[in-house]
Each structure stands twice: as C-alpha cells, then as structure tokens.
C-alpha cells in the first residue's frame, strides 16, 4: 500500500504571504484551508480555488484555474510565483473568483462549506473539522476501494473520536453510482482494509499544521497523541433539506428504500431491488458486525444555514438524532409541535391541509392518493374538483374551456392541494363580475385615484378579472401564445380607470408555497439558457422600467426565479401598452402586483443568488419606477371580500382552507 503523508513544512512562509494575511484571515467566514502532502488547498464553496505550495527558490507558489477569472469552462491552470502577482491576480480579483465559483458550485457543496466553517467558528461545538474531500492514494492491493469522504471531524476531548462524514442535500445522489449503497460499501471497506491507523497519523499531522494556521484552533487539540484517539472511526451520513417538495417524498423516505428490505422502516414509497440490508445487514444497528452508520436528517436548507451563526456538525438541534425512529415506522406527516413550528412554510401548509382533508368536509371526503406524474400522492386529490370552492367549480371549468385556457400541469383543475393557480382561482374567481368589489380591490392595489374598473376584453365573457392572460401576439420572441402554457402569462388581470381617463393594467402574480425550487440561474451560453438570453436581452435594454446592465445579462438576477418571471411579466405589460392599438386589452400604464403570504419566509427573505438580498429588496433594485410594483398578502384580499358582506360562504371557506 502506498503511504499517505499529510502535512506541510512551509507553515511560517505561508503565514508571511498575502494569501494567508490578506485572503484567508480576512475571509474566514467563507474560506477554509485543507492540509495536503506538502501543499495547501484553499476552499470556497467547498471547491478548491487555489493550490499553494513552496518552491525550491524559497517562494510561495499558487496554482489556480483560469476559469475563476474568465468563467470559461475547460480553462488551463495558471501558476503564480511572486507575491505581487498573487496579490494582483487573487486578492485583487477575489470577488470575480467568488462569482465564478458560485456558478460552478451546487447546494450540496455550499452546505458542506457552511457546516465546516460554522462548526469550526463555534467554540461550543463538541467537534472540530480537520479535512474535506479525503481520499486514499492509489492502492494496488485494494483496487475496489476508491472512496472520497466529504468531511473529517474530531472531538475536542479525549478519548478523541474521529467522524467520517458523507453529506447529502435533498434527494440528489441518493441512488446511482455515488449514492447510499456506495457510501456504505466505502465505510465497510475502510474498516475491512484497516486504513484507520494510517488515517489517525494523517489526522495528527494535519492538527499540528492547523494549530499554527487556524486562529480558531481549539486549545484542547494542540497536543493530541495517537494513543488518545479512539480505536475505530464513527461513520455518519448527513442529509440536509429533508423536505417533501411538490409530489416527492422526503429524502429520508427515499434513503429508506435503498437501505431496508421493509419499506415501513422509514415509510418508503418503494424498496430497491438490491438493498443495503441484503448485503450488509441493518447498518443502523450498533451491533451489526460489518459496519455501523449513524444517519442525521435535517429540514434545513442552504438558505436556512446562512442565518445560523453556530453549528455543531453532528450534535446540532436541527437534526433528527441518529437513534430516533431507527426501528419504528415514521408517519409521512406528523401532527407534533416540531412539525407545526417548522421554518419550512411549504411543509407546514402541507401538514395543515392534510389535516383539513382528514378532519373536515372541506375536500368533500376526498382522502388524497390522487395521481400525478404516473404516481399516487397523499397530497393530490382523487377528484380535482374538490380542490376548488364548490360554488365556482362548474363555472371555472367552463371558463377555461370557453376561453381556451390550459390548466397548469394537466388537462383539468390541478389536484395538488398547494397549487398556487388553485389558490388564485379560489380567491378571485367568484368575484370576477362584481364591479363594486373589483373596484375596491383595484383601489387597494393602485390607490384611491382609481375611479372605475372596466371589463377585460381578452375574454369573451368580459369579466372584471380575467385569468391566465397573455397578449394576442408574440412580442417577447417566445414563438407561442397559448393562455396557460409555453409563454409568458399572468395569473389574473384587472383594468382600472383613474382620474383623468387613463387606463391602468394590473397584472397579478399569485404565489402560495413556492420558494424552495427557486434561486436557480436560467441563463447560459448554450441550449435553453442561451435562447433565454437571446429572447429577452434587447427587450430589457429597451425597457422603461427594468434597469439595464451594461455587461449583459448572463448570470444576473434577471434570470433567477422568481425575478425571471417578474422580468418577463414586466416586459409583457410594457408590450401590451405599446401595442394597445391592436391588443384587446387597452391600457396606458401598469401596476405589477405580487400576492404572497408573509409567512413564506423562504420566498420572501432568502438571500437570492447574485443579489444576496430578499425578494422585495432585490426586485426594487432592478426597477426604475417603484410605484409600479406592489406586494400584498392574500388575507388582505379576503378581508376586503368579507367587508362587502356578500360572500360569507366564500370567506369562511378561504379562512379555513388557507389558515387566515
């Protein structure tokens, strides 16, 4: 077996360099270093952005991929050998390096970095992280062992336990070649081939270097002896974002399907044809003779981690403890206080509406289990008609048919109980012909200068609120114009007339539990990303409302949801006004309305890509006329409906259904 040596002999030289003083020490909240065999890796987003070594000419040498300066894939490596060159290229271009790393990294990598840094900055943590991306050198004796472990940690008190950790984020990489079965096999072979003694020697060498380099290095670990270390490692698999989004089960349920022969163990929807248990036995049993693995699951997302200042990488309260529910069936949706107070608004609403399904007549006895994407789900209704307020069901179906509108994701009413399209229809469809009430709604949205509302002429039925509205022609280079599908459309539209006679277009975008699936960059240099840039760049540049960006729109917040949608709807409104002579909808100006529950913190208050701000602040920094954008809570609309005194049954339904 080839020996692996960890440690560097140029600690003092590195501490004198600008890489240490001006980069690492100044940015320890987002950077960390890993000790290798006579070189150091500097990590951002858990991706090595620079390799630092020491030349025979008594100089620090830094290798960095040119990609971090240009953003161009498959770029060559650059070697910087002078302090001035390193300071100019790396210290001076640090923001550019970060921006390009952000494009390259994923949520799992960013979460790994957050856990590592926030644990090590936490003096109260039981653990100290020593290494990331650990792997063995080539071992001709054991070619079947090619593991790469995500994080290594050691306890701060003797006997010093060592944890080998694999990190998962959501449902990604649970199955396949790098999934759960592969990790269990790697843990097993690590023990079988007796790698731990060498591993402990490496850990001691790394601790010796980090004690000089890390200002947060624990005093308790400065003089660790190998005979004080535990006789065997502890294996952990940590899963973050353990949430059931849309029609998907939780990652824990999915993992259980790969782990156990019995699907009821973790309430898995199905069992793999070759489970971990069939090969290694129950690895969650401490008495398993082959390998014992502790599983930690947390609903926290990368956005949640940003708001947490201190983390204990293994013992943190955000996890389900390793021993919890290992040998009991886990209900899909709990009614306990932990579940009810979860920071995940979507999960809370799912739990609440499932309780309504079981304990009230709101859904007319529909017990769920409806089909979506060729599978059945507890939160999808058997009869989608039960998803709509009963007094409007038939009219709603007829409206979509007569106006040739496509329901979202299906040929009929969506059967998902958290559908935002359904929420919009439930709130607004029943009042669409009530001129007085729609007028009061328009005044609430725009202001008291509104003196009347007019029928929305794109609809044959000429209501005062129209739904899934598009232009009559393609002005946004989208090729298709189909209400409800394949082009920019608006959930609801009102036309108001203000004092002086001008008509105000009020496009309404309705959000309910959306947010977890957002924050992905939809721009790019190839494929659909390139096509999106082609479609909208000239329109943004010509817009009177959207801020132009001189360097172009590749990798900008305009192409990150939900701003991508807001950008397109803004352009749509401008084009409707510019073509009012030929469009059925006639308007002279617009006010863009966003309807969102304030409790949806993931949507409203997460730090979005590129802006590092919440939703409203991000969007207001992108628009010129602030009076043309407004967000409102749906419960305020319900209050207005209630004040009319004409919709008692509807108000009762909405208050119960949506928890106002």
Give the separation between CA 172 and CA 179, rounded to whole angstroms.
9
How do strand 490-498 and strand 450-454 relate by DSSP bridges? Answer: antiparallel
pLDDT value of position 567: 98
Residue in 545, 445, 536 with CA at minimum distance from that of residue 498: 445
Phi first, then psi, for residue 94 (nearest 5°) are -60, -40
Give the separation between CA 189 and CA 139, rounded to whole angstroms.
13
CB of 125 within 8 A of CB of 116?
no
Q: Interhelix angle for 345-359 vs 648-658, to 10°?
A: 120
Give the separation between CA 181 and CA 280, rounded to whole angstroms.
10
pLDDT value of position 586: 96
pLDDT value of position 342: 38
Helix (H) or strand (E) holding 113: helix 107-120
CB of 559 within 8 A of CB of 532?
yes
| Helix, strand or coil, per DSSP, at residue 316 | coil
Beta strand ranges found along 455-561 (DSSP E):
466-469, 490-498, 503-510
How do strand 503-510 and strand 592-595 relate by DSSP bridges? Answer: parallel
Q: If phi over 0 gives left and psi between -120 and 50 gives alpha, with beta otherwise, what is residue 359?
A: alpha
pLDDT value of position 87: 95
First to last CA, the chain: 66
| Helix, strand or coil, per DSSP, at residue 365 | coil
CB of 60 within 8 A of CB of 83?
yes
**What residues are paired with 61 via a beta bridge?**
53
User: Running along the chain, 660 residues long, what does each successive block of 10 average in pLDDT?
Assistant: 69 95 96 95 95 88 95 93 94 95 90 96 96 83 88 95 95 70 94 92 96 96 93 95 83 92 87 90 91 94 90 90 37 32 74 92 92 83 96 96 88 92 98 97 94 96 96 93 89 95 97 91 90 96 95 94 97 97 96 96 91 94 95 96 96 96
- Classify burial at 56, counting beta carbons within 10 Å of its beta carbon; exposed 0-12, middle 13-18, buried 19 or more: exposed
pLDDT value of position 282: 93
**What residues are paired with 649 via a beta bridge?**
none
- Classify burial at 120, counting beta carbons within 10 Å of its beta carbon; exposed 0-12, middle 13-18, buried 19 or more: buried
What's the sign of the alpha-carbon dihedral 622, 624, 629, 631? Answer: positive
Name every residue whose Cβ is closer than 8 Å to that of residue 521 and which is 6 or more positions away in sequence: 103, 529, 555, 559, 560, 609
Cα-based angle 97, 102, 105 (whole degrees, multiple of 5): 120
| Helix, strand or coil, per DSSP, at residue 600 | coil
CB of 566 within 8 A of CB of 592?
yes
Residue in 410, 362, 108, 416 with CA at minimum distance from that of residue 244: 416
What DSSP designation does 511 have?
-
Q: If phi over 0 gives left and psi between -120 and 50 gives alpha, with beta otherwise, what is residue 246?
A: left
């Amino acid at each position: 077996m080839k020996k692996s040596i960890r440690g560097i002999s140029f600690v003092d030289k590195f501490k004198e360099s600008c890489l240490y003083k001006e980069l690492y020490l100044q940015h320890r909240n987002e950077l960390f270093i890993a000790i290798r065999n006579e070189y150091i890796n500097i990590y951002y987003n858990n991706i090595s952005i620079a390799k630092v070594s020491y030349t025979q000419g008594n100089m620090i040498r830094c290798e960095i991929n040119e990609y971090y300066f240009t953003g161009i894939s498959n770029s060559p490596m650059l070697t910087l050998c002078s302090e001035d060159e390193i300071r100019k290229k790396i210290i001076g271009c640090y923001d550019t390096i970060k921006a390009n790393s952000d494009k390259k990294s994923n949520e799992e990598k960013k979460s790994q970095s957050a856990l590592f840094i926030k644990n090590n900055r936490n003096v109260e943590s039981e653990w100290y992280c020593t290494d990331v991306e650990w792997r063995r050198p080539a071992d001709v004796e054991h070619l079947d062992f090619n593991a790469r472990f995500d994080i290594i940690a050691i306890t701060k008190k003797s006997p010093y336990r060592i944890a080998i950790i694999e990190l998962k984020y959501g449902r990604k990489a649970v199955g396949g070649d790098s999934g759960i079965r592969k990790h269990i096999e790697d843990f097993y072979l690590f023990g079988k081939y007796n790698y731990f003694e060498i591993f402990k020697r490496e850990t001691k060498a790394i601790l010796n270097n980090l004690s000089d380099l890390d200002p947060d290095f624990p005093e308790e670990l400065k003089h660790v002896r190998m005979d004080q270390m535990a006789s065997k490692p502890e294996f952990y698999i940590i899963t973050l974002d353990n949430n059931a989004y849309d029609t998907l089960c939780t990652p824990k349920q999915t993992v259980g399907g790969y782990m156990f022969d019995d699907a009821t163990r973790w309430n898995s929807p199905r069992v793999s044809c070759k489970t971990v248990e069939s090969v290694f036995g129950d690895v969650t049993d401490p008495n398993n003779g082959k390998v014992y693995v502790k599983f930690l699951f947390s609903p926290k997302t990368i956005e949640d981690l940003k708001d947490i200042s201190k983390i204990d990488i293994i013992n943190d309260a955000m996890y389900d403890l390793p021993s919890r529910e290992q040998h009991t069936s886990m209900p899909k949706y709990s009614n306990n206080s932990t579940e009810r107070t979860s920071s995940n608004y979507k999960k809370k609403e799912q739990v609440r509406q499932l309780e309504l399904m079981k304990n009230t007549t709101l859904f007319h006895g529909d017990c769920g289990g409806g089909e979506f994407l060729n599978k059945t789900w507890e939160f999808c209704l058997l009869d989608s008609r039960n998803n709509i307020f009963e007094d409007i069901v038939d009219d709603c179906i007829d409206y979509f048919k007569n106006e040739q509108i496509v329901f979202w994701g299906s040929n009929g009413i969506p059967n998902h109980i958290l559908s935002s399209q359904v929420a919009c229809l439930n709130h607004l469809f029943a009042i669409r012909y009530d001129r007085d009430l729609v007028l009061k709604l328009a005044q609430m949205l725009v202001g008291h200068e509104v003196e009347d509302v007019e029928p929305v002429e794109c609809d044959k039925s000429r209501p005062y609120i129209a739904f899934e509205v598009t232009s009559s022609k393609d002005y946004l280079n989208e090729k298709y114009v189909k209400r409800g599908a394949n082009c920019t459309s608006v959930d609801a539209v009102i036309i108001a007339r203000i004092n002086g006679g001008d008509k105000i277009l009020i496009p309404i975008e309705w959000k309910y539990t959306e947010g977890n699936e957002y924050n992905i960059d939809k721009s790019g240099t190839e494929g659909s990303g390139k096509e999106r840039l082609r479609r909208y760049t000239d329109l943004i540049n010509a817009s009177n409302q959207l801020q132009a960006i001189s360097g172009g729109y590749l990798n900008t917040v305009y192409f990150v949801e939900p701003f991508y949608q807001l950008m397109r709807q803004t352009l749509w409104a401008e084009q409707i006004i510019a073509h009012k002579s030929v469009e059925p909808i006639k308007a002279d100006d617009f006010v863009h309305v966003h309807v969102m529950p304030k409790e949806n913190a993931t949507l409203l208050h997460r730090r979005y890509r590129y802006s590092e701000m919440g939703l409203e602040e991000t969007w207001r920094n992108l628009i010129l006329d602030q009076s043309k954008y407004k967000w409102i809570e749906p419960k305020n609309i319900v209050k207005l409906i209630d004040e009319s005194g004409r919709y008692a049954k509807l108000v009762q339904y909405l208050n119960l259904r949506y928890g106002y």
